[in-house]
Amino acid sequence: MYEFYPLLVVGGVIGLMSAIFIFAFCTIKDRKEAIGFDRNMKDSELIKRLFVYAKPHAKSFVAVFLIMLFSISYDIISPTLVGNIEEKIKGDFVPSELISYVIIYAGILIVSLICTYLQAIILQKTGQKILSALREDLFIHIESLSHGQLTSMPVGKLVTRVTNDTNAISMLFTNILVNLLKNVFVIFGVIGAMLMLNYGLTLMVLCFAPFIALFTVIFRKFSRKAYREVKDGTTDINTFLSENLSGMKIIQIFNREDRKMAEFNAKNNKLKSAKHRQIFVFGIFRPMVYMLYITSVLCLLYLGGRGYIKNIEFMGQTISSGVLVSFYMYITKFFNPIQSLAEQFNWLQSAFASAEKIFTVMDIKPEIVDADDAIELESVEGNIEFRNVWFAYEGEEWVLKDVSFKVKAGETVAFCGSTGSGKTTILSLICRNYDIQRGEILIDGIDIRKIKISSLRKHFGQMLQDVFLFSGTIRSNILLRKENVCDDEVNEACRYVNADKLIEKLPKGLDEEVMERGANFSAGQRQLISFARTIIHKPEIMILDEATANIDTETEILIQDSLEKLMNIGTLLIVAHRLSTIRNADRIIYLSHGEIIESGSHQELIEKQGRYYELYKLQQDKALLKNS
């Protein structure tokens, strides 16, 4: 009885620890549900959807699996070899035998290293392919969302989906899955090898397995929560950054730096403490497993040592010093994969969490989709009709109320009215950026909901108030989706809309670099570039939301002149602020609070002496004042 005393103490300590951890485990379970961290998609569903991306690379994965079997040979065979070497050194020392063992050992090591290298290369390549396919799908999906849907989603969140979350999934394919498999194989391989050496000692090592399993399950509960918090914190910071970096100028102008800094600090601290908690959880888990490892080594030395000294035989196996050395190594090889298995389960969880977030975005049904019987619109004359159109961005807050008008092909129609009267809204409805609630919008007599969206938008040239230039060159911004256009054509288009003078002044001409959002150009210059961009695509219908702010007189004259040319190209719908533009339009529609209150030519409306006349007088007085 006295001989088992140390074992009883060890068992008691481990049992006590387990009890404490089980108690902690039960408390965290309740809290987890209260915070609502539970995912909605089942793991099986996620696996099924991820599998779709892995399937085209099945061959690579099979190859990796086979190579992996070789690469684990080192872990399984080397301890036995070392045990044998130990026996050889101790017994009759034959150098040639020893050398052959060393050569075998080195051979296995080299094969294993080469296999590990190959495996990593293949996996990385495959992982990157999967990753880029996933990113592409996600990006294409985001592109298909309507303006309304995009407005409701923070940009930072989308960026996190496309970058961080897809990365977590690539980890799944390049690292996690293979290592999970590898560790499982190593564990079983090591158990097999140990059994061949000694049943009794193997059983002793296996006695520790339930405790490791217990610690692992508990650890997973804690760490999963920590992971979620870190993830949410990261998304939060990304969202905050992408918004505030874009608006940094405003923040500086309004002296909001301190306030924003405080907001950022709060988010930053939240992420920091989430990370701390995560590190803490790992900090507890690793030493726990290490403690078990040390305990098992002590047990091995105690039991194995006794068995060796007393030469105890168990089911035909005795314990030699070589067996003890091998077992000492096997215990390390047994505990390592178990410990990393637990951590890999965590990575797996985090990859699944990312997968769910990505698939949630992918599952958002685009609001504006082609009808099943949508037609391709080959050519367009340019007749537009609004028939009793009612539209609201949200609920029943009507922005357009029963709006009806007709535009004949080739006509220029100007919309005017006070800010918020619905001018921009009308223009974006024609391109079907939003769907209307009641009424019809017809192009050449066809309801736009019956036309394929891509085919519809192909015939439009939109020049919006807030011209968006992408980072790149002037040329790439003018061409956008168009390819194979020679510089002469680009120059011609620029000349037509008076953008040539602007471009000539630039040191690199068409190759001049455009910074993000076109920050290195003025509003007027951006508008001119957008004119060139529009006419090079030769649209039948042009839509122009005139820029009002920040335009110097010189550019204004250029814009004015090119506007008159644009009127001759095709149908032109224009939100006009300048008198001269308005005057030249075929028809003027005056909007107020989403309703058409006056419509007619400049002359007609002046004679009517209504709201348009008032606006006209107001602007004329201002012009006189300016000139005097």
Q: Which chain residues interact with ligand ADP by CB under 6 A?
A: 151, 393-394, 399, 419-425
Round to whole Å and give the CA distance between 34 and 48: 29
* Minimum separation from the CB atom of position 401 to Mg ion (A): 17
Round to whole Å and give the CA distance between 607 and 598: 12
* Minimum separation from the CB atom of position 595 to ligand ADP (A): 12
* Minimum separation from the CB atom of position 605 to ligand ADP (A): 18
Which residue, 64 or 576, has its beta carbon nearer to ligand ADP?
Answer: 576
According to DSSP, the β-strands at 595-600 and 438-443 are unpaired
Q: From the list ligand ADP, Mg ion, none, which binds 422 (C-beta under 5 to 8 Å, kind-based)?
A: ligand ADP
Round to whole Å and give the CA distance between 49 and 214: 31
* Minimum separation from the CB atom of position 594 to ligand ADP (A): 7
Which residue, 64 or 563, has its beta carbon nearer to Mg ion?
Answer: 563
* Minimum separation from the CB atom of position 358 to ligand ADP (A): 26
- The site string for Mg ion over 95-134 (x = CB under 5 A, - otherwise) reads ----------------------------------------
- Residues 477/482/486/492 CA torsion (nearest 10 deg): -60
Q: From the list ligand ADP, Mg ion, none, which binds 425 (C-beta under 5 to 8 Å, kind-based)?
A: ligand ADP
Spell out the SS3 assignment of 398-455: EEEEEEEEEECCCCEEEEEECCCCCHHHHHHHHCCCCCCCEEEEEECCEEHHHECHHH
Closest CA to 219 of 289, 161, 158, 272: 289
User: Which among 109-117, 234-242, 419-427, 608-616 is the span making contact with Mg ion, rule CB under 5 A?
Assistant: 419-427
Q: Which residues of 375-400 are buried (b: 16+ CB within 10 A; e: fewer)?
A: eebeebbbbbbbeebbbbeeeeebbb
Query: Residue 299's CB: how many other CB atoms inside 10 A?
Result: 19
Round to whole Å and give the CA distance between 35 and 164: 23
What are the distances in angstroms from CA 61 to CA 89, 130, 537? 43, 12, 46
Q: From the list ligand ADP, Mg ion, none, which binds 421 (C-beta under 5 to 8 Å, kind-based)?
A: ligand ADP
Which residue, 229 or 598, has its beta carbon nearer to ligand ADP?
Answer: 598
Round to whole Å and give the CA distance between 410 and 383: 8
* Minimum separation from the CB atom of position 121 to ligand ADP (A): 49
Q: From the list ligand ADP, Mg ion, none, which binds 419 (C-beta under 5 to 8 Å, kind-based)?
A: ligand ADP
* Minimum separation from the CB atom of position 436 to Mg ion (A): 18
Round to whole Å and give the CA distance between 473 and 515: 8
Which residue, 152 or 620, has its beta carbon nearer to ligand ADP?
Answer: 152
Helix boundaries (H) for 470-569? 474-479, 487-496, 500-505, 523-536, 553-567
* Minimum separation from the CB atom of position 435 to ligand ADP (A): 13
Which residue, 123 or 543, has its beta carbon nearer to ligand ADP?
Answer: 543
Closest CA to 562 of 510, 499, 487, 490: 499
Q: From the list Mg ion, ligand ADP, none, which binds 399 (C-beta under 5 to 8 Å, kind-based)?
A: ligand ADP
Helices 553-567, 523-536: axis angle to 10 degrees equals 20
Which residue, 392 or 606, has its beta carbon nearer to ligand ADP?
Answer: 392
> Judged by CB under 5 A, which of 242, 321, 332, 424 binds Mg ion?
424
Q: For residue 464, what are its two tokens?
A: 């919006």
Which residue, 60 or 425, has its beta carbon nearer to Mg ion?
Answer: 425
* Minimum separation from the CB atom of position 220 to Mg ion (A): 54
Which residue, 545 or 598, has its beta carbon nearer to Mg ion?
Answer: 545
Write out the DSSP string of 95-149: HHHHHHHHHHHHHHHHHHHHHHHHHHHHHHHHHHHHHHHHHHHHHHHHHHS-HHH
Which residue, 79 or 417, has its beta carbon nearer to ligand ADP?
Answer: 417
Q: For residue 405, what are its two tokens?
A: 């008008």
* Minimum separation from the CB atom of position 53 to ligand ADP (A): 34
* Minimum separation from the CB atom of position 47 to ligand ADP (A): 38
Q: Of all residues in this chain, which one has the CB nearest to Mg ion in the complex?
A: 424
Residue 434: phi and psi, rounded to 5, are -135, 155
Closest CA to 327 of 290, 294, 295, 301: 301
Query: Residue 88's CB: how many other CB atoms inside 10 A?
Result: 17
User: Which among 49-57, 199-207, 347-355, 416-424 is the span making contact with Mg ion, rule CB under 5 A?
Assistant: 416-424
Q: From the list ligand ADP, Mg ion, none, which binds 420 (C-beta under 5 to 8 Å, kind-based)?
A: ligand ADP
Which residue, 424 or 584, has its beta carbon nearer to Mg ion?
Answer: 424
Among positions 238-277, residues that touch Mg ion (CB under 5 A) are none
The answer to whether the CB of 388 falls within 8 A of the CB of 163 is no
Which residue, 162 or 403, has its beta carbon nearer to ligand ADP?
Answer: 403
Residues near Mg ion (CB under 5 A), total = 1
**Residues contributing to the site for Mg ion (CB under 5 A):** 424
